[in-house]
């Protein structure tokens, strides 16, 4: 399905046209894709909203060898990633993006964030935090070299995320566990 709507640009108030289209995206299901560009000021908006919802799920995988880095990670906009041994949690927010990667790619993303935070702590003179960051970076590097164990947990209250591997363990989240998770989006409950 394709549609167009017009609205006022939030920056300059000129008329802006938005294209709306639904597509079936592998591993994510049906999605609504929205895109618009203001011809006057150049403001751009693009968003992808997943229209399917599965059972709330938690996937857990333990990295113990190089081969484990190849496990496919499908993270939707509502997925939370945790590395419990490192005290790291990556929660979805309003600008959260879905992606398909592998365990190594997830570790690379986390490594980049921790490296930035470590440098910022060092620049601010907070040496304790900088040292903690260095320890985390060292442990991530070990995992990327196949030295484990290191656990990755992927939780999704909307059931649109997964870790695809024979070693990954999947469990259903309880309603209480789902309450503690962020979704990164506004959820409309039509049952209310």
Which pair of tokens denotes residue 189?
């409950």
pLDDT tens, residue by residue, 54-107? 899 999 999 999 999 999 999 988 899 999 999 999 998 877 777 889 999 999
What predicted TM-score, i.e. pTM, was given to this entire model? Answer: 0.76
Average pLDDT over residues 127-140: 96
Shared domain check, 88 and 15 = no
Looking up residue 122, the CATH number of its domain turns out to be: 2.60.120.1040
Helix (H) or strand (E) run with residue 141 in it: helix 127-144
Measured CA to CA, the distance from residue 58 to residue 108 in angstroms comes to 21
Looking up residue 36, the CATH number of its domain turns out to be: 2.20.25.420
Q: Which structural domain range is residue 83 located in? A: 57-179
Which pair of tokens denotes residue 186?
């506004």
What's the alpha-carbon Rg for the chain, to the nearest Å?
A: 20
Q: Is residue 192 part of a domain?
A: no
Shared domain check, 14 and 77 = no
Q: Is the predicted pLDDT of residue 115 greater than 80, yes or no?
A: yes
Q: Is residue 184 part of a domain?
A: no
Number of domains making up the chain: 2
The phi and psi torsions of 132 (rounded to 5 degrees) equal: -60, -45
């Amino acid at each position: 399905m394709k549609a167009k709507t017009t609205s006022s640009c939030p920056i300059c108030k000129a008329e802006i046209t938005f294209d709306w289209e639904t597509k079936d995206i592998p591993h994510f299901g049906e999605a609504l894709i929205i895109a618009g560009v203001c011809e006057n000021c150049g403001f751009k908006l693009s968003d992808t909203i997943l229209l399917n919802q599965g059972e709330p799920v938690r996937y857990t995988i333990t990295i113990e060898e190089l081969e484990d880095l190849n496990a496919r990670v499908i993270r939707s906009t509502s997925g939370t990633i945790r590395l419990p041994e490192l005290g790291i949690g990556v929660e979805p927010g309003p600008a959260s993006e879905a992606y398909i990667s592998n365990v190594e790619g997830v570790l690379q993303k986390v490594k980049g964030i921790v490296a930035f935070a470590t440098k910022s702590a060092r620049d601010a003179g907070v040496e304790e935090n900088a040292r903690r960051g260095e320890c985390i970076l060292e442990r991530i590097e070990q995992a990327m070299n196949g030295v484990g164990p290191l656990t990755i947990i992927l939780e999704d209250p909307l059931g649109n995320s997964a870790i695809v591997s024979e070693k990954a363990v999947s469990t259903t989240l309880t309603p209480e566990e789902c309450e503690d998770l962020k979704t990164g989006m506004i959820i409309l409950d039509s049952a209310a």
